[in-house]
Structure 1
Amino acid sequence: MKETLCSNALFGIVLCAAAWQAGVWVNKKLRTPLAHPLLVGIVLAAGFLTVFDIPLAWFQQGGQIINLLLAPATAALGLSVWRQRAVLRQNFWPVVLGCAAGSAVNALAVNGLCRLLALDAALTKSLLPRSVTTPIAVALSEQGGGLPPVTTICVLFTGILGAVAAPFLVRLFRLETEPVAAGVAIGTSSHAIGTTAALQLGEVQGAMSSVSIGVAGLLTALLALVW
């Protein structure tokens, strides 16, 4: 009975949607960035699979279909960029240089820590693109000889951490009056998942974060050639 109900694509899709909606509900009730809908949804979905002893392969039949939506969902962020095109024109070079600085710091930090911990080249290549959006990160990992599953987990963790920490860090560094800087920092460090937090802070922050996803992805691809 369990196999009949769960070993199909519909099960994975329904579980993803239900877990997300539950995460949104929890987030609204608790009113804290720590209860990010994606983080709550992942915990609930993982718990459901564990409690009912459902093989991950059954869930992935629908999960893979959800993954196909990542690229168009990221592209849809271009709408907010179009609306803020005047701001982007005025701050073009600060945005580019900010993305370059963030991408360089990420690459240096990952490479330095991997050397310090004596990790092998495969893990280093897997961790290097952790701050760019999943489609780009996985492609860079595969081409560089990394481990795509490890890269996917690191990208997901980085994005969730960025989304949770972004509101706090914006207040800590007093970036409420610097929406361009806040958006570039969030998008460069925590890609599309972090951009959801940037959009909640404001349309300018969301637009600049969206731009930073693409720019940081391109710069990280170039840096990956060095390492």
Structure 2
Amino acid sequence: MSEFMQNSAYAGVTISLLSYSLGTYLKKKFGFGFLNPLLISIIATILFLFACGVDYDTYSEGAKYLSWLLTPATVCLAIPLYEEWELLKNNAKAVMLGILSGVLTSLVTVFVLSKLMGLSHESYVTLLPKSITTAIGMGVSEELGGYVTITVAVIVITGVLGNILGEFICKIFRIHEPISKGLALGTAAHAIGTAKAMEIGEIEGAMSSLSIAVAGILTVILATAFAGLI
């Protein structure tokens, strides 16, 4: 199987798509929050590679084409935002302050926990971009001297947890305003959280889409300042 993976240019892409399709099927069939398609696809892919004795580098060589779609997919999230443009203009101040609060909360939390756990500078900056989309987070981590591979894993984990728990947390704290829910999901859980926001409603999806871009820009700016604290 390892030899087949090496000789096939798109084997990694095929495995990734099949795994995600399995996750989507299970989610639709059972409807449980923890059956997140991305989470299921990750687990299924790992189990397949382990069972077939295929190393990560071989798989990555065939799956790298999927990463090329990250930036275009992120840009496409501007479409629901455009459809709710008037709503954004009418709530511009609250929206911007909400996103800024979310970004600062994320960075401060990483700083405090890193201090408490005695993490090195490299480990600390690796975690700083945890709540922004992978396309931006990888660049931030690399620029600050972090471990890019771990950053990607942390970003995915953050997004999956936000997707699974985001709506439940909003219910606990009685957050019913669509704009607030959208901003929370997008700022805390980037594109994966936005997928959940779009399931909830159009306004939530639009505000979450906006949060991805603005939170990414703010994190790029503020992470540089926070990086010097440890």
| TM-score bracket for this pair, using the shorter chain length | over 0.9
1:190 aligns with 2:189: yes
Match of 1:210 in 2: 209
The one-letter code matched in structure 2 to 1:220 is T
1:224 aligns with 2:223: yes
Asked if the contact 1:187/1:209 (under 8 Å) is kept, the reply is: yes
Q: 1:1-227 maps to which residues of 2 (within 5 A)?
A: 2-7=1-6, 8-176=8-176, 178-227=177-226
Asked if the contact 1:23/1:41 (under 8 Å) is kept, the reply is: yes
- Give the CA deviation at 1:181: 0.3
- Give the CA deviation at 1:5: 2.3
Asked if the contact 2:2/2:52 (under 8 Å) is kept, the reply is: no
Distance in 2, matches of 1:35 and 1:149, equals: 24
- Give the CA deviation at 1:105: 0.8
Distance in 2, matches of 1:113 and 1:160, equals: 20
Distance in 2, matches of 1:188 and 1:83, equals: 20
The one-letter code matched in structure 2 to 1:62 is G
> What is the aligned-residue RMSD (CA, Å)?
1.0
Distance in 1, matches of 2:72 and 2:58, equals: 24
Distance in 2, matches of 1:225 and 1:51, equals: 42
- Give the CA deviation at 1:38: 0.6
- Give the CA deviation at 1:3: 3.9
- Give the CA deviation at 1:221: 1.2
Asked if the contact 2:158/2:189 (under 8 Å) is kept, the reply is: yes
> Which deviates the most, 3-12 or 23-32?
3-12
Secondary structure (helix, strand or coil) at the match of 2:10 reads helix
- Give the CA deviation at 1:26: 0.6
Distance in 1, matches of 2:223 and 2:167, equals: 30
- Count of residues in correspondence between the two structures: 225
Deviations 1:153-181 (A, max 9, x none): 110100010011112122222223x0000
Gaps of 5+ in 1: none
Gaps of 5+ in 2: none
Distance in 2, matches of 1:202 and 1:32, equals: 19
Q: Which TM-score applies when normalising by structure 1?
A: 0.96
Distance in 2, matches of 1:24 and 1:142, equals: 32
Q: Which TM-score applies when normalising by structure 2?
A: 0.95
